[in-house]
Structure 1
Amino acid sequence: MTEDEVLAEFRASQALLEGHFLLSSGRHSAHYLQCARVLMDPMRANRLAIAIAQKIPRELRKEITKVVSPAMGGIIIGHEMGRALNVEAMFVERPTGTFELRRGFELAPGDKVLMVEDVVTTGLSSREAIRAIEDAGGKVIAACSLIDRSAGTADLGVPFFPLIALNFPTYEPDQVPAELAATPAIKPGSRKQ
């Protein structure tokens, strides 16, 4: 899929929002990608996952034995990536503030894991999820996401394959432009600060 085709999917599902948003990373932006909306259509979610899978080199795809994604945002796309790669998909969650496998999910020692996110902005959540996966016995061999918003700066410590990279500007709280700061920030994501 091309960038225009992916953005068309986001627009068709009203998942590309404009305004003043407080991202889960703590940064501010005039754009927000509501991946839950773009993924609510199972056929669209399947198409996007297949497109991401095609970004991963074939030899690396063959090595993946499990897909793990962070809750909440990564659950749907992680599940669809499991389907696209024909491997089990599970997720890590933060019941006490730190990612961990729960609900009977287990990784066997040596499981080669693809960590799947919806959007990567700074990479912090991705690195935390990778740490939890490795603490549970898996070996993360690659990561992927629908969208990379990091402008290429996110270092996840493993090969990273986003479907597309979007460089909507994001701002630290003390660097928000006056025109953006003039409107209240909305926090549409699932994670509390």
Structure 2
Amino acid sequence: MCGRYYIDEETAIELEKLVKDIDKKLNPHNYKGDIVPSVAAPVITSHNQKLEAKLLSWGFHRFDKKGLIINARAETIMEKKTFKECLSTRKCAIVATGFYEWDKSRNKFSFTHKENKLMLMAGLYDEEKRFVIITTKANDSMEPVHDRMPLILSQKELKIWLNEEKETQNILTQTPPLLNRHTDMEQMRLEFF
């Protein structure tokens, strides 16, 4: 679930507004387009209650060093050694315009936030400067395509997610907002006489 997302120009501008003192070396406009596992992308973290943007690579290394772990399930995250420490000390929000998902017939769909241009997906990062996206059970807008989806944060929840550990469990169990769903290939209906 959630193996590709994207950032457009407007989202890069929104990130600059949200993180006031963005490091000039981390120009979010350089990271537009599709983001796939293993590439570097901007994420939001917090240091001393202040939002920061960092450039991290998508995917934790697997223990056997054969591939990457790109997602973490919200329901089991507290039980997994790989994620447990990160959950208390290294939470982040992944910045996106939207994400892609494919249904069982391999039709590609894009999902965007209904109310905001900026989508914030809950995530974790490790000491190697790598991140994963937290996923949860699909809501009604996602379920026809896939049974999992990213855990979406509102802008109000962003600082709470990053800074208030006592609220972590509440956020992990919430249902994400409904999303816009679009595909370039709409189903054609043929009428036979």
Normalization by structure 1: what TM-score? Answer: 0.29
Instruction: Indicate the structure with greater helix content.
Output: 1
Larger proportion of strand:
2
